[in-house]
Structures are given as structure tokens and as C-alpha cells.
Amino acid sequence: MKVAVVGVGAVGAATVLSLIERGGTCREIVLVDRNTDRAAGVAADMRYATPLSPTVDVRASDYDDLADAALVVITAGINEKTGGATDRSDPHGRLRLLETNAEVYADIVPQVVAVAPQAVLMVVTDPPDPLADLTRQLAGHQRVFSTGTLIDSLRFRVHLADRLRVRPRDVQAMVVGEHGTSEVLLWSSAAVGGIPVLDLLGRHANSVDDVREEIENSIRFANITIIEGTGASQYGIGAVSARLVEAVLRDERAVLPVAAYSPRYEVTLSLASVLGSGGVQQMLEPVMDAHERTALAESASTLRKAADHAIAIGTA
């Protein structure tokens, strides 16, 4: 199968490398970037790694080469550092990037759909959720989803595992809502081996509330911490993007916290989503306590305003 990556900056390149390293996910990877020299350079660099993996053809090309692509991953746009979204005290967070990146998507999405009308479209660019709403509007179909809060959920699991001294893969924990400052960490259902995480933390910490606040801040601002050290948050989201490509192409029906349009909330946001052929096939609402349910409603309200703004910019 053919997969395209549009936008070959830090995240796009990390996604391509993760696709190659996972092996066997796709037979062709096409790179498209407005900087054609960069796309060609990344493709050449990646091709030298392909002998170590199952057969895959990596090449730089243009939009015409997206015909027959099963899935198009869109990572183009400015990142938090370039767009000035690295202030922990700013409640808008990644939404600061919306206006610029909505204009980028208004240019890209029609070109993709013109040559690959059958493709599933995966939005990675920040802020991914309102950009997915814009993409759905521009594409004229529902085969659109964003990476949502999968990366946040993985971070949640890692921090809990560190505290409890267990493997992250043995922690069941989820973040829902916006991939951004209004995201909702589902503490009430987080567990290890069926044992509630809050009970386990109570055995290891003097103040569970202090631990919760510390973990929540680490997750909400993880991207800023990474950017302060490296200049770009790329490897984690690259691995996430490759995993999601795999779930779609293999029609796994994997249950993952990625974002698609929810008729109930009237916006794209993350819930427990069934991901397979065609994108998100079903959205399941996790068990939440009253506080979490209220927070999710507030997150949805934030996203609806952002989506309306994105659509107004992108369809003007």
C-alpha cells in the first residue's frame, strides 16, 4: 500500500523513519513538501536505511504522485516554537498556531483530495483537532481523524509507571478531549492490573493531590519541556503517527484515544476510538466521574470555538 507524508519537517521525518522501522506497514512512502530540496534530501537519507527493514520504497515527489494512496499523513505547518506557543501560562497553548496552520491546510487539503479522493486523511499538525474539522470540511468526507490524545495518554502511562515502579505497558490510563491545555486525564479509571491507580499512589505518596498536580503539569507541558531541550517535539509523535498508519492499513479496529468528529459533542475530539480501515469506525465514551465529565464538556466547548474559527479561515 502507498502512504504519503505531506510536510517533511521534524515531525514528518520522524514519522517516515518510524514507518520504515516498524516494517511491513506499507510498500511505498511518498514525501511531499513545499521545500522540494528538503523532501529530496530526507527521502535520500531514509532510503539508505531501508535495507535494514522489509521492502519499502521511499521517494520525494509532488501531489500528482498521491494517486492511489491509502492514507495521507499531514504534518505541514508551523510548530510551537516558531509559532510562539511555548508559554506555560498561556491558556491557549497550541491553539496559538491555529490561524497560520488553517491557511496552510486550506492550500494543502484540496490538492490532496483532487488526486487521492479515496484516501484516509490523518492530521498531525498542531492544533490537530480543529484542523481535522477544517480538513473534513475541505475534503467533503468523513475519513478524517487526528492523532488526538494518544501521545498524551502514553505520557500519562509513563509518568504513572515511574511513580509506581511498573512497566508503562501494564498501566491502563487515558486522556480525552483536546490535545492541548483543556485535555482531561481520566484518573478515576486509571489502573494497574485492575487496581485503581489512585489507591496505589496512596500507598506510595504522602499527598496524592500533589502527585496528581505534578503529573498533570508534566503531561500538559511535555511538548514545551521537549522543545526547550531539543527545539522540536518529534520522536514520540512520529512513533504515534506510524502506529496509527499501521492500525488503519491493517484494519485492526484498535481502540485508541485518537480524535474524530463526534456528533454528540459536535466537534472533533478524542474518546476511545475504534481505528481501522477508513479511519475511526466508532467512538466509545469511557467511564468518567462527574468532575471528568464536566471537564470534557468544557474541553469540547473550547474545541468547537476553535473549529469554527479554523473553518472560517480555511474556507474564506
User: Is residue 206 pLDDT above 80, yes or no?
Assistant: no
**pLDDT given at position 299:** 98
- For the chain, give the longest Cα–Cα distance: 60
pLDDT band for position 82 (cuts 50, 70, 90): confident
**pLDDT given at position 127:** 97
Q: What is the pLDDT of residues 275-306, one digit of tens each?
A: 999 999 999 999 999 999 999 999 999 999 99
Domain co-membership, 33 together with 59: yes
Per the structure, how many domains does the chain have? 2
Give CA angle at 1 (5, 252), nearest 5°.
95
Q: What is the pLDDT of residues 103-123, one digit of tens each?
A: 999 999 999 999 999 999 999
**pLDDT given at position 112:** 98
* Lowest mean pLDDT segment, chosen from 98-102, 164-168, 204-208: 204-208
With contact defined as beta carbons under 8 Å apart, do 80 and 223 qualify? yes
Domain co-membership, 276 together with 294: yes
Domain co-membership, 221 together with 125: no
The CB density around residue 298, as the number of other CB atoms within 10 Å, is 14
pLDDT band for position 205 (cuts 50, 70, 90): low
Residue 30 placed within a domain:
yes
Residue 212 placed within a domain:
yes
With contact defined as beta carbons under 8 Å apart, do 271 and 162 qualify? no
Domain co-membership, 52 together with 126: yes
The single residue of 92, 159, 179, 291 carrying the catalytic annotation is 179
C-alpha dihedral sign at 249, 262, 79, 182: negative
* Lowest mean pLDDT segment, chosen from 42-56, 118-132, 177-191: 42-56
pLDDT band for position 22 (cuts 50, 70, 90): confident
| Residue 182 lies in domain | 150-231+253-310
**pLDDT given at position 240:** 97
By DSSP bridging, strand 171-172 and strand 191-192 are: antiparallel
**pLDDT given at position 130:** 97
Residue 236 placed within a domain:
no
Residues whose CB is less than 8 angstroms from the CB of residue 280 and which lie 6 or more positions away in sequence, other chains included: 145, 258, 260, 273, 274
State yes or no: cis peptide before 127, omega within 30 of 0.
Answer: yes
Give strand pairing partners of 222. Answer: none
Give yes or no: 92 in active site.
no
Residue 187 placed within a domain:
yes
**In the predicted model, what is the mean pLDDT of the chain?**
94
* Lowest mean pLDDT segment, chosen from 37-51, 193-207, 212-226, 268-282: 193-207
What span, in angstroms and rounded, lies between the C-alpha atoms of 191 and 220?
20
Domain co-membership, 105 together with 191: no
With contact defined as beta carbons under 8 Å apart, do 135 and 105 qualify? yes
Q: pLDDT exceeding 90 applies to what percent of the chain?
A: 84
Domain co-membership, 201 together with 283: yes
Cell numbers that stand for 183 in this block:
485535555
Domain co-membership, 174 together with 302: yes
- Section 43-64 average pLDDT: 91
Cell numbers that stand for 70 in this block:
491509502
Residue 245 placed within a domain:
no
**pLDDT given at position 142:** 96
Higher pLDDT among residues 62 and 21, named by residue: 62
User: Is residue 84 pLDDT above 90, yes or no?
Assistant: no
Amino acid residing at 11: V
pLDDT band for position 202 (cuts 50, 70, 90): confident
Q: pLDDT exceeding 70 applies to what percent of the chain?
A: 99
pLDDT band for position 25 (cuts 50, 70, 90): confident
Cell numbers that stand for 44 in this block:
535520500
Last residue of a domain, one of 147, 170, 188: 147
- Section 252-278 average pLDDT: 98
Domain co-membership, 69 together with 215: no
Question: What is the CATH number for 101?
Answer: 3.40.50.720
User: Is residue 203 pLDDT above 90, yes or no?
Assistant: no
With contact defined as beta carbons under 8 Å apart, do 269 and 262 qualify? yes
Domain co-membership, 122 together with 222: no
For the chain, the DSSP string reads: -EEEEE--SHHHHHHHHHHHHH-SS-SEEEEE-SSHHHHHHHHHHHHTTGGGSS--EEEE--GGGGTT-SEEEE--S--HHHHT---TT-TTGGGGGHHHHHHHHHHHHHHHHHH-TT-EEEE-SSSHHHHHHHHHHHHTSS-EEE-TTHHHHHHHHHHHHHHHTS-GGGEE--EEB-SSTT-EE-GGG-EETTEEHHHHHHHH-S-HHHHHHHHHHHHHTHHHHHHHHHSS--HHHHHHHHHHHHHHHTT--EEE--EEEETTTTEEEESEEEEETTEEEEEEPPP--HHHHHHHHHHHHHHHHHHHHHHHHHT-
With contact defined as beta carbons under 8 Å apart, do 100 and 118 qualify? no
